[in-house]
Structure 1
């Protein structure tokens, strides 16, 4: 009766494992963990089924065959647990051809030893009666114990990997680690059977009655392998930014390849292995990559260093504190990014913006200047004069007109006329003081906005200077020109338009009086020529 119950349990474990293998195989494309789960459960199903058969077989020859077949599945289970541990640690992991070949060596040797056991009896030396319902069990030899030692070494390695995964991942992924840990009931049963040296039928597969349903729940309900995290080490090594973990004493505890590459650029003579050294040892005491004691407290820090260590590199450095128990700072994570190209682009953009601003200012200035003489134009004159009349102190407006300018154009040509306008404009502009205005009013007319009480004398001196300066108009020809001027002094709240109108009236009086003179409004008499 007990034999029947055990057979039913073995078969139940086999059926459930087979179902899980089928479900996992259909989902194998979603993550490497599903393929590993399918392979593992095929081994579990076969091991359980052959254990059920061994419970019923009493013929030693047939038992030799079923035992040999069972070890095929036993080896598959050992390999399956190891592969699953890798898949749980890294969802992007896939076994390489070399990995598969290395894992296949021991199972092939084991099955070969089992198949040839009748000739050497090194794997097991026969069968003995357990005294338990007539059951027979193998008497194990040295090759079996070597196989067991290898299997437990592999399982122990897988167990350590999973425990480490459990310790470093969030609760979201701990169900994945539990998938391997639930193999413990089967492992405990196996160790109990081995410790009895063949006095008890192998009950290892009974643990699968517990393992298989839990595996099924995790695969189907939690999609365990699909949630397995990417190994943090691989992410750390693939980060393009330089990342270093520095202890409280300033020694480097960990660094990624990008960090090592950056250190080598900054210090070509650095040690081959930087772990255990301080940044100050490698780069000198003044390196910006070394956290200071002030960073033991306070906020994280970020800074940009240009031309770090005369390397030509601009570095963006962020130092973040790492906390231990009691919120005590135990070190720093230093993330360094090469921003040389970014800074170059930024500086180039700033230069371009500066050039654009200069061009804009130049265009704005050109819009306010006469294109021929370079003096301010009438538009700027009116806005400047509007501001000037609101100020304090004496203010005068001189409206100047070149005498007989039409005759110059008719006799010497318009090019000569332009040369005269430019030369007279230069003389007028040179006579203006800072804060005063000199503008071309139109045609051969100019306006000077002067400050101070000496405006009449200054304009008359300027008239004399223009009259005494010969102007070269090309082809060896020179001309001498004079100008007439009307001068209006501010006496009250006159508007720019009123002042210009008064100056225009005075200019008309100067022209009527014979030209080459100035008239101070409202006095219609011309000032004597000097």
Structure 2
């Protein structure tokens, strides 16, 4: 092949390598491996360009400048390959300053030696322009061979890292490593062939052509294979930095690895632990009590939460690890300290309990206030407001409950009690009568004070005869009572009117009016008696008692305005 054709091939190799370097450099913010690949391909582009100039120009200047440029390019390729391998296998790795200096010292020394005339032949001598057949004359000096050996050693170390990474990772990351490893091996084989072909003093360095293939493979990998798109994450970037404790336990229960958070947690739980934790049993490290607690804790949603010490709550998740054949390799245990969350949850539960108690108190107070709103403050019986609601509700349900009776009770001669003994004594009498009425009602009955000395009892389910019997019991109980008023032993009586639904009315107003008419009849016919509505005379007239000797025998009709004419008190009766 003619020198011009060699020049074209090397120029193409330089162009492809430069494009690959640019593509990699644009991805440098994703991974340091992109920067290393850009440096490597920059060295390849410079190396190929130098060969293109030597074969294309064939001048003395290019002949003299070729050795130092070649050595600088080779140094970039070797250093870039090493850094690329290290960063691909461990993205957190960065070359230390000492490592960078050591990798730079040897290429710089060779560049200087290849530039200085006194040492130029020790590096590369007898370099002559290529002849018509395309072969160039070159004598590789001992320093160049030593440099080549050094480069091969460094590249072999880089390949070792890539091979180990290839065996460890899976999926797309494994494919990325395979691409880098294959392309690097391709260029290395080409370099070995080229150096071996030039040991006799003639031949063409075809290494850039192999790098041309390497560049093409890397370009395809970047565009089509996702190279540098997905970046492997190093263990110390994940496991060692997570706040949760991560423990790896073998099938025998021996701890074989843990992260710094796990070591801190284990030592904080058991202050007596000393020495290295790896290689010791999990029972010895965590303690039998903690393991017993978790062994007795039910697994919920793949994890267990238990209190292993007073105030110390742990959330534990574990998963089995097996080899490709399904044989168990151990367990990965992830432990999180949830003591603060549990304490907050307990505080919330305590607050909820206190709130529930307060709501209960408020509801009780509200019920008491609501009850007080429908209670007469003096007697404790219900008031007219509650009576209206209760009577309406009882009438609405009466078709199911049967008959309903209403008793209207009035204290006889109550005005005389107030006039003679004062309103305080009157209140005492009202309270006593109210107590008698309250004791006479059943569950579901209603006892209310209408106002003054008048009361109403609503008795669902009672017919006329039963209601009259109940009224008689109340009348006798009141009459049997004695009240100490201002030194006197006073007896009071009541008059009671009885009305029954539906015979005497089917609505509240009609029923109360019928019972009220019966009450007026009881008061007009002598008081201290019970009168049912069916025995009431015409509402236009009422009866008043005649003198005591004959009041149970004769009744004289008089106008209704005269029914409250006389009051009778019986002191000491």
TM-score, length-normalised on structure 2? 0.64
Deviations 1:452-492 (A, max 9, x none): 99977986798589865899xxxxxxxx9979586989999
For residues 171-197 of structure 1, the C-alpha deviation after alignment (integer angstroms, 9 at most, x for no partner) is 3x4443244222111123344566789
Q: Distance in 2 between matches of 1:174 and 1:226?
A: 13
Rate the CA distance shift 1:27–1:330 in 2: closer, same or farther, 3 A. Answer: closer
Structure 1, gaps ≥5 residues long: 472-479
Q: CA deviation at 1:198?
A: 3.5
CA distance in 2, matches of 1:417, 1:48: 127
Q: CA deviation at 1:159?
A: 1.6
- Asked if 2 retains the 8 angstrom alpha-carbon contact of 1:122 and 1:143, the reply is no
Give the Å deviation of 1:41: 1.8
Measure how far apart 1:71 and its partner are: 2.5
Match of 1:358 in 2: 360
CA distance in 2, matches of 1:328, 1:425: 92
Q: Does 2:41 match 1:38?
A: no
The CA distance in 2 between the partners of 1:234 and 1:257, in whole Å, is 12
430-439 or 267-276: bigger deviation: 430-439
| 2:252 corresponds to | 249
Bigger CA drift: 273-282 or 447-456?
447-456
C-alpha separation in 2, matches of 1:398 and 1:129: 137
State the alpha-carbon separation in 2 of the partners of residues 421 and 206 from structure 1: 126
Task: Report the CA distance shift for 1:508/1:312 in structure 2 as closer, same or farther (over 3 A).
Answer: farther
Confirm or deny: 8 A CA contact 1:266 1:309 kept in the other structure.
no
> Aligned-pair distance for 1:354?
2.2
* Structure 1 CA distance for aligned equivalents of residues 40 and 169 of structure 2: 25
Matched, 1:304 2:313: no
Task: Determine the C-alpha separation between the residues in 2 that align with 1:303 and 1:493.
Answer: 73
Shift of 1:276: 3.5
Is this contact kept in 2: 1:510–1:517, CA < 8 A?
no
CA shift at 1:18, angstroms? 0.7
| Offset, 1:45 | 1.0
Q: Is the 8 A contact 1:250 1:291 kept in 2?
A: no
Larger CA deviation: 229-238 vs 488-497: 488-497
**Using the alignment, how far apart are the partners of 1:405 and 1:321 within structure 2?**
94
Q: Does 1:227 align with 2:230?
A: yes
Q: Tell me, yes or no, if the aligned pair for 1:375 and 1:439 is still in contact at 8 Å.
A: yes
Structure 2 CA distance for partners of 1:352 and 1:174, relative to 1, 3 Å: farther
Hey, what does 1:280 align to over in structure 2? 283
Shift of 1:318: 3.4
C-alpha contact 1:386 1:495 (8 A) present in aligned 2 = no
Moved more, 80-89 or 125-134: 125-134
Partner in structure 2 of residue 334 of structure 1: 333
Contact 2:72 2:111 (8 Å CA) reproduced: no
Q: Kindly tell me: are residues 523 and 228 of structure 1, through their superposed partners in 2, closer, same or farther at Cα, counting changes over 3 Å? A: same
> Residue 235 of structure 1: CA displacement?
2.8
The structural deviation recorded for 1:208 is 1.2
Equivalents in 2 of 1:494, 1:326: separation in Å? 96
Whole-Å separation in 1 of the counterparts to 2:218 and 2:211 = 10
Aligned to 2:345: 343
Under a length normalisation based on structure 1, what TM-score does the superposition of the two structures give?
A: 0.68
The reply to whether residue 187 of structure 1 matches residue 188 of structure 2 is: yes
CA distance in 2: counterparts of 1:150 and 1:104, whole angstroms = 16
Residues in 1 aligned to 2:161 and 2:394: alpha-carbon distance in whole angstroms: 91
Structure 1 partner of 2:316: 317
Q: Give 1:147 shift.
A: 3.2
Per the alignment, residue 474 of structure 1 pairs with none
Equivalent position of 1:266 in the other structure: 269
Q: Which residue of structure 2 aligns with residue 66 of structure 1?
A: 66
Matched with 1:20 is: 20
CA RMSD of aligned residues (A): 5.9
Indicate if the aligned counterparts of 2:67 and 2:111 stay in contact, CA closer than 8 A.
Answer: no
Could you tell me how far apart the structure 2 residues matched to 1:429 and 1:186 are? Answer: 114
Structure-1 residue corresponding to 2:546: none
Which structure 2 segments of 5+ residues have no match? Answer: 537-569
Summarize the alignment of residues 410-449 of structure 1 with structure 2, pairs less than 5 Å apart.
445=455
What per-residue deviation string (whole Å, max 9, x for no partner) do you get for residues 9-38 of structure 1?
A: 433221101122233434545655544433
Post-superposition offset of 1:210: 1.7
3-state SS of paired residue (2:333): strand
* Gap change, CA 1:489 and 1:168, over 3 Å in 2: farther
Are the equivalent residues in 2 in contact too, given 1:398–1:485 (CA < 8 A)? no
Q: Secondary structure of the equivalent of 1:228?
A: coil
Query: Secondary structure of the equivalent of 1:248?
Result: coil
SS at match of 2:316: strand
The match for 2:108 among 108, 112, 115 is 112
Specify which of 113, 133, 138 is matched with residue 135 of structure 2: 133
